[in-house]
Amino acid sequence: MSIKRVIISGGGTGGHIYPAISIANAMKEIDSSLEFLFVGAEGKMEMEKVPKAGFNIIGLPIVGIQRTQVWKNIFFPFKLIKSLWQSVQILQDFKPDVAVGVGGYASGPLLLAARFLGIPYYIQEQNSFAGITNKALAAKAEHIFVAYPGMEKFFPAEKITLSGNPVRKDLINAAGKKAQAAEHFHLDPAKKTILIIGGSQGARSINQGILAGLDRLTNAGVQLIWQTGVAFESTAKQAAAGNASTYVSAFIYEMDLAYAMADLVISRAGASSVSEICLIGKASILVPLPSAAEDHQTENAKSLVSQNAAILVRDVDVKEKLITEALAALQTDLSTLEKNSLRLAKPNAAHEIAQSILSR
């Protein structure tokens, strides 16, 4: 089959968006004549990030299922039906040769419509615990690309390839940029630096833990690159006012420089963040988001901790343990964590997935 048009669906968080963009870019490198269309969820960050990456995107009214505030699901069936109908129309208009779903509720209606119309589709699962959308669509998928071993408990074994998670290409070349990073963030290249990333929206508990321990970190001579998310940015900037050793921003686009500067990373355990940390070979403290679907972030973190490649601090223990663990880690030799995390990296994931799809 000669592939000319590709539709890619998924989103809701950066963890789904960046792998999708990485796969599309890898496919373009193999065949520059390919046409792409992305499908995401209205109002979510993919509607901004995908066009910035140079691709067209259409939003669906689909929303995620609320597991805690169940009453909010009253309109879910209507939004699902509308999204399915729109997905059929999008597919009939764009006429893709293949569809790729990267997970998240935004990919469900599009891949279901593709199945209904007989369009072959592929799935990329980023987490060590498969999401409900990907599990539901796995049986009819052409192939499924996973980031962790042992995914046979969720998907048909004969359809699985252990590819790893696609990550932003610029991160592969992050090594050797520390001097540039220090200049960019106005920090001292000789001092220990912690990078705090709470995911694309920020992480409330991590932000509050860093805020409470800011004086301890500063007094210990530790520098911070603190990605707060929009909601916490003003609070963090006020707390760090006049503190030359702390860089605060709602969102960091120059992540290659941020990783290059960091001696230690404090992060949620979303699939993309974990994959990036491994790719760069950084020591990390992972704080899984407890409300993540099927608690998949805890499973992601445990996959690294079991290989002595990361430190785990539970969300409920952040206030008591996070700063202490961070300072203790910086006093030790971090090379073991660094080497073990790098050993788990799969830097060619996007190209391998792209090549596999285009060669079928």
Asked if 226 and 196 count as a contact pair (C-beta separation under 8 A), the reply is: yes
Please write down the long-range contacts of 312-317, taking CB distance under 8 Å and 24 or more positions apart.
312/285, 312/286, 312/288, 313/285, 313/286, 313/287, 314/287, 314/288, 314/290, 315/205, 315/287, 315/288, 315/289, 315/290, 316/290
**Are 65 and 155 part of one and the same domain?**
yes
Integer Cα distance of 88 and 117 in angstroms:
8
CA distances from 192 to 202, 219, 254, 329 (A): 22, 12, 19, 11
Q: Given pLDDT bands bounded at 50, 70 and 90, which one contains residue 87? A: very high
**Are 276 and 156 part of one and the same domain?**
no
For residues 235-274, one letter each, b for 16 or more C-beta atoms within 10 angstroms of the residue's C-beta and e for the rest, the string is: ebeebbeeeebbbbbbbbebbbbbbbbbbbbbbbbbbbbb
200 has binding-site annotation:
yes
**Are 186 and 154 part of one and the same domain?**
no
Q: Given pLDDT bands bounded at 50, 70 and 90, which one contains residue 140? A: very high
Looking at 25-34, 110-119, 197-206, which range is the least confident one? Answer: 197-206
Among the three residues 166, 194, 219, which one is the final residue of a domain in this structure?
166
Integer Cα distance of 263 and 88 in angstroms:
48
**Are 321 and 177 part of one and the same domain?**
yes
168 has binding-site annotation:
yes
Number of domains in the chain: 2
Among the three residues 128, 146, 166, which one is the final residue of a domain in this structure?
166
Q: What is the pLDDT of residues 176-225, one digit of tens each?
A: 899 999 999 999 999 999 999 975 566 889 999 999 999 999 999 999 99
Checking phi first, is residue 43 left (phi over 0); if not, alpha (psi -120 to 50) or beta? left
Run of H or E residues at 247? strand 246-249
Run of H or E residues at 134? helix 132-137
What is the rounded average pLDDT for all residues in the chain? 90
What's the pLDDT at 133?
82
297 has binding-site annotation:
yes
CATH code, domain with 119: 3.40.50.2000
**Are 38 and 143 part of one and the same domain?**
yes
**Are 278 and 306 part of one and the same domain?**
yes
**Are 180 and 155 part of one and the same domain?**
no
**Are 99 and 201 part of one and the same domain?**
no
127 has binding-site annotation:
yes
**Are 159 and 181 part of one and the same domain?**
no
Q: What is the pLDDT of residues 165-177, one digit of tens each?
A: 888 777 767 778 9
Q: Given pLDDT bands bounded at 50, 70 and 90, which one contains residue 360? A: confident
Q: How many CA atoms are closer than 13 Å to the CA of 282, on its beta-carbon side?
A: 29
Strand partners, 59: 40
What's the pLDDT at 236?
95
Q: Tell me the residue range of the domain where 339 lies.
A: 170-343
**Are 244 and 107 part of one and the same domain?**
no
57 has binding-site annotation:
no
Run of H or E residues at 265? strand 264-267
Among the three residues 150, 166, 182, which one is the final residue of a domain in this structure?
166
14 has binding-site annotation:
yes
> Is 352 among the domain residues?
no
